[in-house]
Amino acid sequence: MRRLLASFVYLLFSGTLVAAAHAQQVQTGPVLEPRSAAHDAGPPIAKGAAAITEQREKCSTRLIVNADALFQPHRWTLNYDASQTLDVLGPMITQAGKHPARISAVTSASDSEAENRDVSGRRALTVRTWLVNHHIVAEGTPIDSMGGNSAGMAQNESQSAKPAPGTSKNGTVEVLIDTCH
């Protein structure tokens, strides 16, 4: 009887671990995670409005967010304090009016262009999901993953974007709003 009970407990426990491991691999939305101790050891990270650079042109507004305010290197889940910056980004998008927008991300955190593109795409999707959940952009808002480049910023058609102050290899997330349409 004891052996049967031990086997049952083992199967129950191991099934729970397998289910928990599977749940960690399948992520349905942004997950907030604490910053690692190594990441906290560096210089202070700009958050809120200090992490966002706004560039206005004739027919566009570009909001460039320093990715350090949102993500840890090589990660695409939001840090626990990312809302400080996203709570400022949302009203900036809304202030531009009801215009088409595009969300892109770029990182150069890895030596692999494929890995950079994957992380960038997931970051753009994470930010779009947050903005959709807060009724700031439409669910169909397009996203781009730019991979990486040496400047740590997204490349775009006009090549007019300047890196955000304090941009690191962790990259940027950009919201480009077409104000002429």
In-domain check, residue 34: no
Tell me, what amino acid is at 6? A
Task: In whole angstroms, give the CA distance from residue 111 to residue 119.
Answer: 12
The stretch 159-173 carries a mean pLDDT of 56
Q: How confident is the model at residue 20 (pLDDT cuts 50, 70, 90)?
A: very low
pLDDT one-digit tens code per residue, 24-39: 333 334 444 455 444 4
The answer to whether residue 110 is domain-embedded is: yes
* 69 within a domain of the structure (yes/no): yes
19 within some domain = no
User: How many Å is the Cα radius of gyration of the chain?
Assistant: 20
Q: The whole model's pTM is what? A: 0.67
CATH of the domain at 110: 3.30.1330.60
**Is residue 8 domain-resident?**
no
Q: Is residue 51 part of a domain?
A: yes
Question: How many structural domains are present in the chain?
Answer: 1
Range of the domain at 63: 46-178
Residue 163 is given by DSSP the state P
d(CA 126, CA 74): 14
Report if residue 17 sits inside a domain: no
Report phi then psi at 178, rounded to 5: -85, 95
